[in-house]
């Protein structure tokens, strides 16, 4: 038995040796490394955009001053493309361009400058926690001056600090950055002045609170909301963007009398006459006002005892424009309040249509926006089933002449129009479908320019 035992042991040893040589520990691939990407639309006259990463749409319909949330990407090189959304589709306005994203780094891509010169600015910072009790700021100068250059000083101070006795936090020019820098979580005032002149204030945030752990990218972008400030700040966090408006940013108010069987009216604001003897179907231009809550009433002209509307408190927010329209027949008169979007877009016109004709209130309407002279019997409605007092939102249209026709929904019989309108790229318009004027049988379309009064 001894020879067998020796042979068996030798065979077993050989077998085990073979197993060891063929079952070495497999190599474990390292976990993937990641980067973060965020995109900011900072081109003041560009249309809304889509953002593509390696040909896949990651951000859809981002408008001016909007930012994406954080997009996690495996670190590496990607093709980035920004498409402007045009009436006829979309077209690349930036890229495609290959960008390399390093691990544990946050990249913010800002589309800056007017659309004719739009370009990307890429800023990056390490992904790391904010120190306890602090907030972190990374500031981008995203406003071009004449010829591009616009050097400015930035002051981040205690509220009310005297700038003439304070050194600027930093000085930078278009497309440059300050930071990232950490400050104690507290109340601050951010001001931007022309470089070297602390009295030439281009932006004043007023008092703002920076909370413990805030990690913000601040972009100084062109102000499109009215008021004296040249710029406004957009605060970009992990979830997107928000405005920090200049303290002097106004609101704007436009008032219209669109109640066809109501006589002339007066409009009272905080008990004082704001407008007098307003006839149907008059609509004012926009007037800038300090943002506040106003008490508004509509009375019969020269007869304050007859009050068809109000008094009602109306809160008008800074940076927001409003149309307040008296609508419907007298027995059912009410105020229709619209938020307006006056930002011009260089690549197209913006047109909004409002159904304010009470004689057609019982039925929804179809709206046709067609070439001049087109037969709507051969056309598909641009918009369908629009109810009374609804509006279309702003439509993007190429500049030119159009016929607008309104029909009872599902029919081809024109109730209003065709009314020819002429629009231009960069123009912003509201068209209001109204009842006939006194003594007339003809419905009409009021076309308004959504711009501030001089």
Number of H helices and E strands in the chain, helices first, is: 1, 33
**Is residue 30 pLDDT above 90, yes or no?**
no
Answer whether residue 380 is part of any domain. yes
Question: Residue 9 region, left (φ>0) first, then alpha (ψ -120 to 50), else beta?
Answer: alpha
Round to whole Å and give the CA distance between 234 and 228: 17
Comparing CA positions, the residue from 252, 84, 71, 219 lying closest to residue 139 is 219
pLDDT at residue 24 in the model: 61
pLDDT at residue 25 in the model: 65
* Residue 301: pLDDT band with limits 50, 70, 90: very high
Round to whole Å and give the CA distance between 177 and 123: 8
Q: In the beta sheet, which residues pair with residue 39?
A: 109
CATH classification of the domain holding 436:
2.60.40
**Is residue 327 pLDDT above 80, yes or no?**
yes
Answer whether residue 78 is part of any domain. yes
Last residue of a domain, one of 307, 324, 340: 340
Round to whole Å and give the CA distance between 308 and 305: 10
Mean pLDDT of all residues in 419-443: 95
Last residue of a domain, one of 83, 98, 128: 128
pLDDT at residue 31 in the model: 81
- State whether 306 and 381 are in the same domain: no
Mean pLDDT of all residues in 308-321: 96
Q: Which two tokens stand for residue 255?
A: 């008032």
Round to whole Å and give the CA distance between 225 and 405: 32
Mean pLDDT of all residues in 82-110: 96
Q: Hey, is 329 helix, strand or coil?
A: coil
How many domains does one find in the chain? 4
pLDDT at residue 14 in the model: 36
Cα-Cα-Cα-Cα torsion 300, 302, 304, 306, nearest 10 degrees, comes to: -30
Tens of pLDDT along 175-200?
999 999 999 999 999 999 999 999 99
pLDDT at residue 115 in the model: 95
Last residue of a domain, one of 340, 361, 380: 340
Compute the mean pLDDT over every residue in the chain, rounded to the nearest whole number. 93
At which residue do the structure tokens 């940076």 appear?
A: 319
Instruction: Give percent of the chain above pLDDT 90.
Output: 89
Mean pLDDT of all residues in 368-387: 97
Q: Residue 308 carries which DSSP code? A: S
pLDDT at residue 247 in the model: 98
Angle at Cα 137 formed by Cα 136 and Cα 140, nearest 5°? 160
pTM: 0.89
Answer whether residue 350 is part of any domain. yes
- State whether 226 and 260 are in the same domain: no
- State whether 77 and 59 are in the same domain: yes
Strands (E), 301-361: 309-316, 321-327, 334-340, 349-355
Q: Hey, is 429 helix, strand or coil?
A: strand
pLDDT at residue 17 in the model: 44
Tens of pLDDT along 389-417?
999 999 999 999 999 999 999 999 999 99
Domain enclosing residue 422, as ranges = 343-454
- State whether 358 and 451 are in the same domain: yes
Round to whole Å and give the CA distance between 192 and 244: 13
Answer whether residue 172 is part of any domain. yes
């Amino acid at each position: 038995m001894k020879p067998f035992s020796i042979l068996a042991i030798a065979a077993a040893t050989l077998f085990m040796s073979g197993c060891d040589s063929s079952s070495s520990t497999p190599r474990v691939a390292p976990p993937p490394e990641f980067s973060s990407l965020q995109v900011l639309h900072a081109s003041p006259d560009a249309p809304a955009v889509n953002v593509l990463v390696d040909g896949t749409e990651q951000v859809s319909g981002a408008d001016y001053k909007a930012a994406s949330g954080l997009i996690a990407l495996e670190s590496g090189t990607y093709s980035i493309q920004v498409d402007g959304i045009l009436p006829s589709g979309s077209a690349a306005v930036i890229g495609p361009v290959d960008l390399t994203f390093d691990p544990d780094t946050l990249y913010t891509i800002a589309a800056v400058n007017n659309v004719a010169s739009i370009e990307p600015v890429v800023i990056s910072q390490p992904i790391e926690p904010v120190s306890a009790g602090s907030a972190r700021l990374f500031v981008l100068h995203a406003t071009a001056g004449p010829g591009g250059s616009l050097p400015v000083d930035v002051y981040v101070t205690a509220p009310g600090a005297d700038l003439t006795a304070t050194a600027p936090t930093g000085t930078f020019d278009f497309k440059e950055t300050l930071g990232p820098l950490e400050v104690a979580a507290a109340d601050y005032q951010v001001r931007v002045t022309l470089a070297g002149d602390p009295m030439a204030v281009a932006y004043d945030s007023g008092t703002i609170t920076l909370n413990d752990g805030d990690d913000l990218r601040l972009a100084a972008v062109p102000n499109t909301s009215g008021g004296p400030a040249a710029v406004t700040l957009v605060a970009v966090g992990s979830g997107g963007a928000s405005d920090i408006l200049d303290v002097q940013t106004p609101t704007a108010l436009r008032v219209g009398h669109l109640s066809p069987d109501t006589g002339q009216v007066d409009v009272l604001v905080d008990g004082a006459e704001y407008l007098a003897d307003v006839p149907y179907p008059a609509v004012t231009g926009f007037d800038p006002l300090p943002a506040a809550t106003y008490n508004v009433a509509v009375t019969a002209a020269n007869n304050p005892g007859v009050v068809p509307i109000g008094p009602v408190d109306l809160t008008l927010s800074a940076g927001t424009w409003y149309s307040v329209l008296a609508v419907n027949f007298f027995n059912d008169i009410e105020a229709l309040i619209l938020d307006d979007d006056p930002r011009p877009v260089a690549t197209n016109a913006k047109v909004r249509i409002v159904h304010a004709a009470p004689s057609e209130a019982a039925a929804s309407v179809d709206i046709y926006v067609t070439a001049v002279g087109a037969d709507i019997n051969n056309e598909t409605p641009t918009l369908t089933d629009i109810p009374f007092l609804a509006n279309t939102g702003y439509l993007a249209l190429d500049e030119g002449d159009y016929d607008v026709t309104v029909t009872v929904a599902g029919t081809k019989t024109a109730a209003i129009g065709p009314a020819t309108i002429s629009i231009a790229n960069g123009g912003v318009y509201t068209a209001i479908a109204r009842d006939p004027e006194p003594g007339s049988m003809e419905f009409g379309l009021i076309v308004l320019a959504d711009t501030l009064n001089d």
